[in-house]
Amino acid sequence: MNLKNKNFLILSLLLFLYACSKPDYELFEGPTGNKSDFLGKWLVINYWADWCPPCIKEMPELESFYKLNKSKALVLAYNFDRLEGEELRDQIERFKVNVPSILTDPGLLFGWEVPISLPATYILTPEGNLVETLIGPQTKSGLEDIISKYEKLL
């Protein structure tokens, strides 16, 4: 076998392995992908549930932050009760969760413990490092302040 054929076989095998690899995460009614897709922007992950009044109260703040900071930050909501399908869609609509919803448990994806209370918000740098774990409702300005603080340090 010549070098050209060997290179072709190696490239084919690598492409096959890449195509068969299981994605790391799935978004509700959105794409699947790999954890590395989140690199390059700040990542704000929020755990919420319908039985958590502060969670519902903070949703407009998360949406406002997301809309005003889309160029540098991604916000993902994760339903603490692990709802999916129509049940999740109903709650997203009822509680106006207007940020992307991740179906994959962020704790499993990033290696942290399940939050002890809700709402819980995790902030990761564009390099994928967890820098803040916040318990309680967040505001648009509070999230902007935290990211601004870390941008100055990085």
Residues 27-69 pLDDT 10s: 999 999 999 999 999 999 999 999 999 999 999 999 999 999 9
What's this model's pTM, rounded to 2 decimal places? 0.84
Q: What is the largest CA-CA distance in the chain?
A: 67
3-class SS of residue 3: helix
3-class SS of residue 50: coil
Tokens linked to 147: 């990211």
Check residues 41 and 154 and name the one with the higher pLDDT.
41
Q: Does any domain span residue 9? A: no
Torsion of CA 149, 154, 68, 106, to 10 degrees: -100
Which CATH number covers residue 133? 3.40.30.10
Mean pLDDT of the chain: 91
Q: Does any domain span residue 8? A: no
- Is the pLDDT reported for residue 101 higher than 90? yes
Q: Total structural domains in the chain?
A: 1
Strands (E), the chain: 25-26, 32-33, 42-48, 73-79, 120-124, 130-135
